[in-house]
Amino acid sequence: MTAAFYIAAVVAVLATIMVIIETNAVHALLNLIVSLLAVAIVFYVLGAPFAAALEVIVYAGAIMVLFVFVIMMLNLGEAAVAQERRWLAPRMWMAPAGLSAVLLGELIYMLWQGPAAVPVGTTVTPREVGALFFGPYLLVVELASMLLLAGLVGAYHLGRRERAVAKPEMETAREAQQETQR
């Protein structure tokens, strides 16, 4: 399992570096999802299957869906449609797909080997995690939810302002076009 740890760690580092250097937000999100899945495999190999499941469900699942929703809400107009057509090029998907294939191969290998060896007495139950989240870490959980809500509201207002600015320009263009046709 040591090799699985190092492979997942390298994939996580590479995907995270690609998140940082990527100029396209959607590609950065795809690399971030790969990075989060790699971290989940690291948790599993270290003997924390519940933390790995939380990583996949909460971060790679729910929060990434929120990020994709916000990005989709900000991409407005014909320029965004043209850009999405360019994203469908196979070369844009090669790096995330390659790193995901490495993680899939590693996951199949680990499942073939059997469950990870967890030392007796160190297993963390969902009840203990819930007690921590709603006990001493309640303020941190609530602050994180407020931060996500603030980001969503800010993205909505940014997208709404762009539409309000674009609308008078479209009306002016229509009026000019109607005058030229007369």
pLDDT tens sequence across 117-143: 556 556 777 788 788 778 887 887 788
pLDDT of residue 53: 84
Is the confidence at residue 75, as pLDDT, over 70?
Answer: no
Is the confidence at residue 151, as pLDDT, over 80?
Answer: no
Is the confidence at residue 161, as pLDDT, over 60?
Answer: no
What is the rounded CA–CA span in Å between residue 9 and residue 22? 20
Share of the chain above pLDDT 90, in %: 5
Q: Are 28 and 16 in contact (CB under 8 A)?
A: no
What is the rounded CA–CA span in Å between residue 53 and residue 40? 7
Q: List, in order, residues 6 or more apart from 87 with CB less than 8 Å away.
A: 24, 26, 27
Sequence-ordered alpha helix ranges (H) in 55-137: 64-74, 78-87, 90-113, 126-133
Global confidence as pTM: 0.52
- Of these ranges, 4-18, 84-98, 111-125, 159-173, the one predicted with the greatest mean pLDDT is 4-18
pLDDT of residue 13: 92
Q: List, in order, residues 6 or more apart from 67 with CB less than 8 Å away.
A: 29, 32
